[in-house]
Structures are given as structure tokens and as C-alpha cells.
Amino acid sequence: MMTARRPLPNLIDRLPPARGRVEADAPLSELTWFRVGGPAEVLFRPADAKDLSQFLKMLPADVPVTVIGLGSNLLVRDGGVPGVVVRMGKTFGAIERMGDVIRAGAGVSDINLAAFARDAGLGGLEFLRGIPGNLGGAVRMNAGAYGREIADVLVAAEAVDRAGNFHRVTRDELGFSYRRSTAPADWIFTAVELQGTPEDPAVIAAKMDAINAAREESQPLRTRTGGSTFKNPEGRKAWELIDAAGCRGLRIGGAEVSTKHCNFLINRGDATAADLEMLGEEVRRRVKEATGVTLEWEIRIVGEQLPRVTP
């Protein structure tokens, strides 16, 4: 006599207890600037670093973990993200001044950190006004704009690894290079300390206003976009290569290469994640063919593609 197979447990039923919010089959599209993508199998918003540590320590080893922040430089594929997606949000939003150093949670947006520094009379951090996203992601990728990058101002960063262990590292230990750090892939940054320099708040404000004006003039800010799509190759500008390859205004489905700044991809309103990814790959193909340069994605792509439907 055959016995019926017991159904496999849902992932959420296998997870350890947490003080933060845990949600199964959670939509991610509204958490990304592109406004596309499938759901997280489980979305976890930790209450604090200790909650995150305990959760990861007890999480079954076979469960994958993906970390997201404000969803700016992120493309979530249409099939969603398997395993646990950890969102570093408002519970990691504390900011405090310690002399000329600002300590902030990894969930603080780069723009809010720049505003805090301005009000505190600490200069040198104005460039963060020009970077979408939060501080955790900025440290991970050594984000930069307008001639400066995180490596120029980071004092230290704190992180939790997949086993739940805490780490505190200095700038030199993170091995920064252009849009990269050598931080282990399983580290989740929880806090950062950034060095400022005393300066007149009015002078800082003027610099930030200039950065904002430059962005408004050159970038498609009021569209569904993910920011800079490709990294600048050494000694070259990605947008110039894309333009030279005739990709300005190129479309696939509801996705378009911005006519205002062609290193930006735009969701025209009905794009899928597949449209955006295919458009990006077509741009890479055309640039390689026209210039011999292979562009590297700056936007992070996560999740699974939906199976193609055969007509």
C-alpha cells in the first residue's frame, strides 16, 4: 500500500523566531526604483543588529540570503527571489555625531546623511547628495559621485555575517577600489562611521545645491530608473560608449535607454524585469561590437527569471 507524500513545509515555517517583521511571498516591485520584479519567498525586516545576528545564526544553512536596501541600483527578476530577503530599512536609521565623525545605521539614505552632515557643519560628505541608495550598499560597492567616494570618508563599518558573527573593520581592511570592496559576500553591513571636516553649513549647502542642480539637468530623475546602469571602464565614460554605439533611445518592450542620459535604463510604465535586463544586455552587445569594450553592470541583478512561454 502506497502512502501519500507529506507536503514540503513552506520556508517561513522553517525559519527561526525574530523580533522583526517576517513576511512570506512578499512583493518586491514596490521596494525598487524600477517598480518591477517578482516577490521574495520570505522578506525579513530585522528589528536591530542583534535580531539580525540571532536570526542568521539559527537560519538553516541551505536557505539563501539576499540583502536589499532602498532598491535604487537593483533589478529584481520577474520570478522573484528564493530564500530570505533581508531589508535594511528604518530600524537601521539612527544617526549621531561623535566629534567630527558621523555614526549612522546602514539603512540611512545617502541623501539624508549628507543633510545631517550639512546641519552639523561637517563638510566633505556633500557628494552623498548625488548618490541614490543607503549607506550599507554604498560601503559594499564603494559608491561615489562628483569626484569623491566612500573610501575617501569611511572610518569604520560594522557587519553581521551569515553565521551571525559581528565584525568591525576599518577602511583599509575593506580593500576599496573603483565601485568595489573586498568585503565577504555574506556580510550584511549594519552601521558606518564617516569622517567629516568642520565647515560653514551655508558653504556645505551651496555645494549640495550645485550637486542637486547638476543631477536635475543631466539625469532622468523623475522616471522609474535604477541609476547608473554600467560602470565606467578605466579611462572611459560608459554613457559616451553607449551613445557611440547608437543606443540612445533604444527600446525593448517597455524598457528604454534614456535619451537624457544614456547610461540610465527607464521603465516606461509597462516594462518587465526581463525587458530591462534584455535591453541592458543588448546595449552591452552593441557597445562591444562598436568599440571593443565590455561594459560591466553597476546595477545589481537578483532573483530568478520566469520561464519563457513558447507561442
Instruction: With respect to residue 165, please indicate whether it lies within any of the assigned structural domains.
Output: yes
Does 197 share its domain with 97?
A: yes
Q: What is the CATH number of the domain that holds 163?
A: 3.30.465.10
Give, rounded to a whole angstrom, the gap between the first and last alpha carbons of the chain.
42
Instruction: With respect to residue 1, please indicate whether it lies within any of the assigned structural domains.
Output: no
Catalytic residue (one of 103, 148, 179, 248): 179
Does 199 share its domain with 230?
A: no
Residue that terminates a domain, selected from 177, 203, 229? 203
Domain extent for 134: 93-203
pLDDT at 311: 56
Q: What is the CATH number of the domain that holds 279?
A: 3.90.78.10
Does 262 share its domain with 240?
A: yes
Does 199 share its domain with 248?
A: no
Does 97 share its domain with 198?
A: yes
Instruction: With respect to residue 308, please indicate whether it lies within any of the assigned structural domains.
Output: no
Catalytic residue (one of 228, 256, 258, 286): 228
Residue that terminates a domain, selected from 203, 234, 261? 203
* 217 noted as active-site residue: no
Q: pLDDT of the chain along its 311 residues, tens only?
A: 344 444 446 899 999 999 999 999 999 999 999 999 999 999 999 999 999 999 999 999 999 999 999 999 999 999 999 999 999 999 999 999 999 999 999 999 999 999 999 999 999 999 999 998 999 999 999 999 989 999 999 999 999 999 999 999 999 999 999 999 999 999 999 999 999 999 999 999 999 999 999 998 889 988 999 989 999 999 999 999 999 999 999 999 999 999 999 999 999 999 999 999 999 999 999 999 999 999 999 999 999 999 876 55
Instruction: With respect to residue 5, please indicate whether it lies within any of the assigned structural domains.
Output: no
pLDDT at 221: 82
What's the burial of 198, exposed, middle or buried (CB within 10 Å: 0-12/13-18/19+)? Answer: exposed
Number of H helices, E strands in the chain: 6, 19
pLDDT at 301: 98
Number of independent structural domains in the chain: 3
Does 39 share its domain with 56?
A: yes
Instruction: With respect to residue 4, please indicate whether it lies within any of the assigned structural domains.
Output: no
Does 84 share its domain with 98?
A: no
* 298 noted as active-site residue: yes
Amino acid at site 25: D
Does 80 share its domain with 104?
A: no
**Which long-range contacts link 235-241 to residues 24+ away (Cβ below 8 Å)?**
236/293, 237/263, 238/263, 238/295, 239/263, 241/287, 241/290, 241/291, 241/293, 241/295
Does 108 share its domain with 187?
A: yes
Residue that terminates a domain, selected from 150, 177, 203? 203
pLDDT at 307: 84
Instruction: With respect to residue 248, please indicate whether it lies within any of the assigned structural domains.
Output: yes
Residue 222 DSSP symbol: T
Rounded CA-CA distance 123/204 in Å is 6
Q: What is the CATH number of the domain that holds 31?
A: 3.30.43.10
DSSP characters for 279-296?
Answer: HHHHHHHHHHHHHS----
Instruction: With respect to residue 65, please indicate whether it lies within any of the assigned structural domains.
Output: yes
Does 57 share its domain with 33?
A: yes
Task: Quickly tell me which residue has 521603465 as its cell.
Answer: 267
pLDDT at 309: 62
pLDDT at 50: 98
* 179 noted as active-site residue: yes
